[in-house]
Amino acid sequence: MQKRLSVGTNMGIEESEVKKEYLHIFFIKYLQFAEIEAVASVAKGRNYEIIKCLYSLFVEISKKKTEAQKVEKEIKELDKQIEIFNEENKDIPSISIRISTQQGYLYTLSPNSDLSRAFQLLVTSMNKYKIWRENLSKEALKEIYKRNLLDKQRFYFKDTPEDLNKELLSQTLVARNYVLRQSLIEFYNGISHLNAAFWNTGDKEDNVKKAKHHFQRGALDSYKAIIKDFSLMLGNQSDEPRQKFLKKIADIRQKEYQTIGFEKKRNEDISLYQEYENLVDAILQLQKK
């Protein structure tokens, strides 16, 4: 008997043929992309547009009440992007990803399962990141971009190329980047494990557990990116609000380090992910003022 995938209180793949069909389509599309992306990502770099499409489709088919029109729209966009991707990478050799000869395994995940909560956490954090980036001023975006640019350049340059940066910043229209790339990578890593579980290859329980951890890391990445952006906007002043903010970060980070390897304690005893979300919610409230 085929089981169901459920994600979060308001999200879940239910026991219906339509849901099963969409999930099957999702992992077929994943394979079409992954079998070329495996080499292309190393030789050329990641294709984040397709990973975004996969994320949007997975969110839609995971909702408790799936809307066929929205799912079909996401599938159509994904097909278009995969077609472009294949054309751009005709010179890239593909690999073969093993799947079982058995019918796709729809792993048992209750609405309140660990994986369900982890995926809901990822979706919530990515939605908050989108809200954060949407409401930043152009000046704030450029300041955040400049500070991050300087940080990255330290890896390549002995001295900061001031003239180059002034020229670059004077001509650059900084994008808002509504989705954090690192969170997308963690999502993609997560569904790579779910793909193995779906096709009944490898250790299903182990793959589901690893997918959960990737979703959790992706959520933390989005939350930490918001916190870092906000910290960069505060600058280096030593006033009381900034010191309180840094103390809050220190408190959360201490709990994070103390719970490495203790997933139950991290999830239940101290609610680490909730603490990150609470801090981000406070930042979003300040952003509205």
Give 269's pLDDT tier (boundaries 50, 70, 90): low
The predicted structure's pLDDT at residue 77:
97
Q: Decide: pTM greater than 0.95.
A: no
| pLDDT (tens digit per residue) in 76-121 | 999 999 999 999 999 999 999 888 766 555 554 455 578 888 899 9
Tokens of residue 118, six digits: 């982890």
The predicted structure's pLDDT at residue 252:
92
The predicted structure's pLDDT at residue 225:
95
The predicted structure's pLDDT at residue 49:
95
Give 217's pLDDT tier (boundaries 50, 70, 90): very high
What separation, in Å, do the N-terminal and C-terminal C-alpha atoms of the chain show? Answer: 53
Q: Using CA atoms, how far apart are residues 159 and 32, in angstroms rounded to an integer?
A: 44
The predicted structure's pLDDT at residue 78:
97
Give 143's pLDDT tier (boundaries 50, 70, 90): confident
The angle formed by the CA atoms of residues 92, 97 and 100, to the nearest 5 degrees, is 160
Judging by beta carbons within 10 Å of its beta carbon (0-12, 13-18, 19+), is residue 197 exposed, middle or buried? buried
Residue 5 has pLDDT above 60, yes or no: no
Residue 159 has pLDDT above 80, yes or no: no
Asked whether 57 and 79 are in contact (CB, 8 A), the reply is no
| pLDDT (tens digit per residue) in 176-200 | 789 999 999 999 999 999 999 888 8
Closest CA to 62 of 102, 118, 101: 118
The predicted structure's pLDDT at residue 15:
43
Residue 286 has pLDDT above 60, yes or no: yes
Look up residue 63 and give its amino acid: K
The stretch 259-271 carries a mean pLDDT of 74
Q: Picking from 25-29, 179-183, 203-207, which range would have the lowest pLDDT averaged per residue? A: 203-207
The predicted structure's pLDDT at residue 58:
93
The stretch 216-236 carries a mean pLDDT of 91
Residue 1 has pLDDT above 60, yes or no: no
Closest CA to 228 of 158, 133, 155: 133
Hunting for tokens 């995926």 — which residue is that? 119
Q: What is the 3-state secondary structure (H, E, C) of 142-198?
A: HHHHHHHHHHHHCCCCCCCCHHHHHHHHHHCCCCCCCCCHHHHHHHHHHHHHHHHHH
Q: Using CA atoms, how far apart are residues 101 and 201, in angstroms rounded to an integer?
A: 10
